[in-house]
Chains A and B, each alone.
Chain A
Amino acid sequence: GESVGLHLPTLSVQEGDNSIINCAYSNSASDYFIWYKQESGKGPQFIIDIRSNMDKRQGQRVTVLLNKTVKHLSLQIAATQPGDSAVYFCAEITGGSYIPTFGRGTSLIVHP
């Protein structure tokens, strides 16, 4: 079936660097995408979202880019901090559904 997936299972960066986490999706009917951050021992936490009528959305230190042509989603974190160390998931929602489908996750490790 169609699914959401991530390219890199682990990403290691130095504090202060910019991080880019990628996600591929295959369901062309998906029209809403969310990035979540999950720290050890906690549930996923919403970071930023984007709807399919946009190709870029910015938050505080985070930017999500959506390329519908190649069905690709990315999360950019500026000036990565040790507190950003976590597992990051992208999730997609198909129009009319209330249920997000999560990808596998990328572990971000930030070295001081």
Chain B
Amino acid sequence: DTGVSQDPRHKITKRGQNVTFRCDPISEHNRLYWYRQTLGQGPEFLTYFQNEAQLEKSRLLSDRFSAERPKGSFSTLEIQRTEQGDSAMYLCASSLDFPTSTDTQYFGPGTRLTVL
């Protein structure tokens, strides 16, 4: 499968713990996005990378959240001191040239985080 992959698919943690999620984009894609999605809602943008540079961050991305893409390939999203409100699906997407061409974003299956 050459699509976007995310690991783990599910994570249950206790409030106050740190968690880290990984996203492996489609190999030639230089753009990578992180989103958060709660039930019944559309994905909310968190942050965006072009290669290894983090070019944009949402106000939703509090100082407890950090994302990296060290070599311009895979990316990690870390949440420190998790809160129950962090419970959501965390989606990763990648693209080659979206939206400036006919290319589109390709989404991974997401990581479902539950904070107890």
Binding site for B on A (CB under 8 A): 4, 9, 32, 34, 41-46, 49, 89, 91, 93, 98-105
Contacts and interface: CB of A to CB of B under 8 A. Distances in A.
Contacts of B44: 102
Top 3 nearest A-B pairs (CB, nearest first) are A102-B42, A43-B107, A46-B104
A4 B41 CA distance: 11
Contact of B93 (A4, A43, A93): A43
Interface in B86-116: 91, 93, 98-99, 104-110
Contact of A44 (B48, B56, B99, B107): B107
- Size category of the binding interface on chain B: 20 to 34
Contacts of B41: 102, 104-105
A5 B7 CA distance: 31
Interface in B1-41: 4, 31, 33, 40-41
Contact of B42 (A42, A46, A104): A104
Given A34-B104, A93-B99, A98-B56, A43 B40 contact: no
Contacts of A32: 99
B109 A99 contact: no
Given A43-B107, A89-B43, 16 more contacts: A32-B99, A34-B104, A42-B107, A42-B110, A43-B91, A43-B108, A44-B43, A45-B107, A89-B42, A91-B42, A98-B48, A99-B56, A100-B45, A100-B99, A103-B42, A105-B40
